[in-house]
Every structure is written in C-alpha cells, then in structure tokens.
Amino acid sequence: MKMEFFSVGGYSEVGKNMSAVKINDSIIILDMGFFLPALVDFEESGGERKNLTAEGMIKLGAIPNDKLLRPLKDKVKGIVLGHCHLDHIGSVPFSAPNYDAPILGSPYTLEVLRSELENERVSLKNKLLKINPNSSYKLDNVEVEFIHMTHSTLQTSLVALHTKEGTILYANDFKFDNSPVIQKKPNYKRLKQLGKENVIALVVESLYAHQEGKTPSEKVAREMLKDVMLSVENTENAIICTTFASHISRLKSMAEFGEKLNRKVVFLGRSMQKYINAAENLKLVELSKRHEVIGYSSKVKKKLSDIERHGRNKYLIICTGGQGEPGSMLTRLASHQLPFELLKDDHVIFSNRTIPVEINIRNRDKLERDLKNKHVRIFKDIHVSGHAYREDLRDLINMVKPKNIIPAHGPLEKLNNLASLAFDMGYSKKEVKIMSDGHSVEI
Ligand SMILES: [Zn+2]
Ligand SMILES: [Zn+2]
C-alpha cells in the first residue's frame, strides 16, 4: 500500500489545522480550521470581512491553502472533524464546498458547526454525519473510529483511520484528564488496544511538547476558581469571570460557585449563547434553566443596566473577552462602551491564558491597562491547559506504539519539541516527519 500524508494547514502556525491522508484511492480530510489572527490583522488595517471570498481568505492566510488536494478532489471520501474549536472547524464553511464528501463529527461538534454555518450564512451540500464518541463509520475502504478523549471542550475524539494495512491515528487536540468536570476519562483501554494493532502513523499536537510534566486536570482549575471566588472577600463589588465560550466545564464550575455566593449568574454574549445552546440541545449540561444566558446585544445592554441599578454585588457576570479581543464583552466593559461602569475593587477573574500570538498579547495588555486604570482587582491565570504536556505525549506514544510520528499544531519550533521527545524515546530521524503547510510525504 502507498500511503500519502498531506500537511495542508497548522504546520507552520498555531491555527487553521487541516490534514489529509491518501490510502490507495481514497482521501480522508482531517479538520478544516481557521487562523483568526490573519483576519483580525486584515480588519484592523481597514479591510472588510464581507468583501472576502474563500480565495481571498486563503491569500490572507486565514484558512488553509488546499490547492494540493484540489486536483485529487474526486478521491476525497470524507471530512472528519475531531472537535469543535474554530482552529479545527472554522474553515468548513469556506473549504468544504470544494469537496463532494460528507462531514463527520461528534454531535456537539456538528451542533457548533451548524451555528457557524448559520453565522456565515452558508448552506452546505455536504451531508453532516453524527458519530458518537467511541463508535465508527465506514468511508469507502477506511473505517473511521472516534475514540473518546478529554480536552477543553465537549465531545472531543482522537480519530483512528483503519485500513487493511494498518491505522493512522490523529491526536489533534487532547489532554489526559483523569478528573474532568463533565464527561468521562479518556478511553485508555482502546488506545492500549491500538498499541497491539498496527499504527502506521500518529499525527499528534506539539503545542506543549516543551512543557515538562503532565497537564493538570480540570479539577485543578475548578479548585483554583473556588479559591478566588469563594475565599477572597467580596460582598459589595462586582465579580466578572471570563473564559473561552467553548469551555463548558469551566462555565459550569463558575456558575456553581456563583450560586454558592448567592449571586444571580448571567452569561453574556453571543458566543456564550452559541456554545451553551449547542450543549443544552444535546442535554450535555443544564445552565439556562437556573441561570440567564443572554446573547442579543440589546438584551445584554438592558441586563447590564439592570445590574447597575439592582446592585452589582447581587450578580456574577460570565462573559468572553479574556484575550482582550476588540468588540468582546469584557473589552467593551473596560472601555465605557456598555451601560455598566467598572468600579474600584470590582473583581475580574481571567480563567484562561493569553494565546501567545502577537495580536492577542497586545490586546490583552491593553485590556489589563484599562482595568488597572479603573482600579479593578485582577485575578489572572486561573486556568489549566486543555493540551497535553510532554509526559502525556510520551504516554500516548507508549500506548499506541506508532511506527511513524508526525508532529502537528504549530510552527517548526513547536514541531521540533515533539520531535525531540520522539528521538528521546528511540525513534529515528526517518520515522519522525517534520512537515510544513502545503506539503505531502509518503509513508
Ligand atoms: Zn482544541
Ligand atoms: Zn487546536
């Protein structure tokens, strides 16, 4: 068998993840992600998103350049999405129309995708096929298996492509969390079984391959939150928490501590509403029954003036904006753009980490300056990562015993960190394939 691997996007930057595997005459695409900073740069320099075509977005570097696959498009049998983060599904509205193939994802991933498609006003011809975690689907001669995994959002899977000649395992993104707040532990049993079968290649994220040790569990983030929310005295002031809207377990912990404080919990913002609705439609969580989830801008404004009137100390506000994104709720709160004034000694809890991209670092610095000018009390880094550290990566490799390793999810410097781990474990240079965007390799 000839197997060819395509590193379409996400191998020269952190974002726009897209890979493809060609096995005999079938191609399976893995993820179609977005690289948001490229678009933000474009908009900041006066560009208008509505004028952008898909080709224009490729030129900007906002979506993967799939020109390598276009001549082979008749061979594409499916587009498989591992989880719902935008750096993995954000380009589906623009890239999927190039292929006459179904899109496979977990129910939650597809629920989020559906609202993305609505946002972009795109209706796809591609069929959407729901695959439950820990089940399989046959595409042509390839059996696509979704293996349940933990990450910073719900229903994340490692994807195994089984062929007659062996298996390719796609592990982009994951962490090994043995005490996740929602959902079950990773399916280690299945991973160990794979180790006894024939894994030809492991495509694996390298984002934190440099970070010694094991990624702390979500349980740890929950304890950190508990500590700042329940133990730091605040009876008179506002408490505002921010995290990624897709981090449903984190949102759940925040809401529970808000209740313990006897504060009314309000989730504010369109993306909060989007990810919470998607989870509730699938009965994965129940937040809107006990709390308010407000998406529309006019309603958000009304709520904020109510809070201002009724007493800021009676509420817990949960919103986005932890990256300091212009236009996000927290940024607008910090810069007088909403009918709610932040006051001295209000609490702002950042339950996230700044994504280390220049534009995010700049935005976040500005946000913190604005907050400090208002003499707000800032609690930072109340967070644990959703990505595997070095020892988790080692454990995964030990479990599945791949013949070849393809480091993914980052530029060369990050890919090299994973390569160095592989060399440390006895892999040869030939067995570790360092790729960059827009290339392919035979395996
Ligand atoms: Zn992710
Ligand atoms: Zn990712």
Structure-token match 């299945």, residue found: 190
What's the CA-to-centroid distance between 376 and ligand 1, angstroms? 31
Asked if residue 367 lies in contact with residue 331, where contact means CB atoms within 8 angstroms, the answer is yes
Fold of the CATH domain 218-379:
Rossmann fold (3.40.50)
Q: Which residues pair with 420 in a beta bridge?
A: none
Q: How far is 386 from 375, CA to CA, in rounded Å?
A: 31
Asked if residue 221 lies in contact with residue 384, where contact means CB atoms within 8 angstroms, the answer is yes
What's the CA-to-centroid distance between 260 and ligand 1, angstroms? 30
Cis upstream peptide for 87 (omega within 30°) = no
Ligand in closest contact with the CA of 151: 1
Where does 3-214+386-442 sit in CATH, by number? 3.60.15.10
- Beta strand pairing call for 404-408 and 199-205: parallel
What lies within 8 Å, CB to CB, of 88 at 6+ separation is 17, 31, 32, 33, 81, 82, 172, 173
What's the CA-to-centroid distance between 106 and ligand 1, angstroms? 14
What's the CA-to-centroid distance between 88 and ligand 2, angstroms? 6
What's the CA-to-centroid distance between 76 and ligand 2, angstroms? 23
What's the CA-to-centroid distance between 116 and ligand 2, angstroms? 17
Q: Determine phi and psi for 58, rounding to 5 degrees.
A: -60, -45
Residue 398 has a pLDDT of 98
Ligand in closest contact with the CA of 31: 2
3-class DSSP string for 12-64: CCCCCCEEEEEECCEEEEECCCCCHHHHHHHHHCCCCHHHCCHHHHHHHCCCC
Q: Specify the domain boundaries for CATH 3.40.50.10710 within the chain.
A: 218-379
Residue 268 has a pLDDT of 97
Among 382, 375, 306, 300, smallest CA distance to 334 is for 375
| Alpha-carbon separation of residue 380 from 92, 240, 290, 384 (angstroms) | 33, 12, 27, 12
Tell me if residue 9 falls in helix, strand or coil. Answer: strand
Q: Which residues pair with 3 in a beta bridge?
A: 23
Ligand in closest contact with the CA of 109: 1
Ligand in closest contact with the CA of 34: 2
Structure tokens at 245: 């809207």
What's the CA-to-centroid distance between 1 and ligand 2, angstroms? 30
Q: What is the pTM of this model?
A: 0.96
Asked if residue 70 lies in contact with residue 63, where contact means CB atoms within 8 angstroms, the answer is no
pLDDT in tens, the chain (443 residues): 679 999 999 999 999 999 999 998 999 999 999 998 888 888 888 888 888 899 999 999 999 999 999 999 999 999 999 999 999 999 999 999 999 999 999 999 999 999 999 988 999 999 999 999 999 999 999 999 999 999 999 999 999 999 998 999 999 999 999 999 998 999 999 999 999 999 999 999 999 999 999 999 999 999 999 999 999 999 999 999 999 999 999 999 999 999 999 999 999 999 999 999 999 999 999 999 999 999 999 999 999 999 999 999 999 999 999 999 888 999 999 998 999 999 999 999 999 998 877 888 999 999 999 999 999 999 999 999 999 999 999 999 999 999 999 999 999 999 999 999 999 999 999 999 999 999 999 99
Ligand in closest contact with the CA of 84: 1
- Beta strand pairing call for 3-9 and 439-442: antiparallel
Residue 218 has a pLDDT of 98
What's the CA-to-centroid distance between 169 and ligand 1, angstroms? 16
Asked if residue 188 lies in contact with residue 395, where contact means CB atoms within 8 angstroms, the answer is no
What's the CA-to-centroid distance between 11 and ligand 2, angstroms? 12
What's the CA-to-centroid distance between 273 and ligand 2, angstroms? 21
Ligand in closest contact with the CA of 150: 1
Ligand in closest contact with the CA of 175: 1
What's the CA-to-centroid distance between 14 and ligand 2, angstroms? 7
Around ion ligand 1, residues with a beta carbon closer than 5 Å are 85, 173
What's the CA-to-centroid distance between 432 and ligand 2, angstroms? 21
- Beta strand pairing call for 199-205 and 166-171: parallel
What's the CA-to-centroid distance between 156 and ligand 2, angstroms? 11
Ligand in closest contact with the CA of 153: 1
Among 168, 174, 161, smallest CA distance to 206 is for 174
Q: Specify the domain boundaries for CATH 3.60.15.10 within the chain.
A: 3-214+386-442
Residue 405 has a pLDDT of 98
Structure tokens at 188: 């280690």
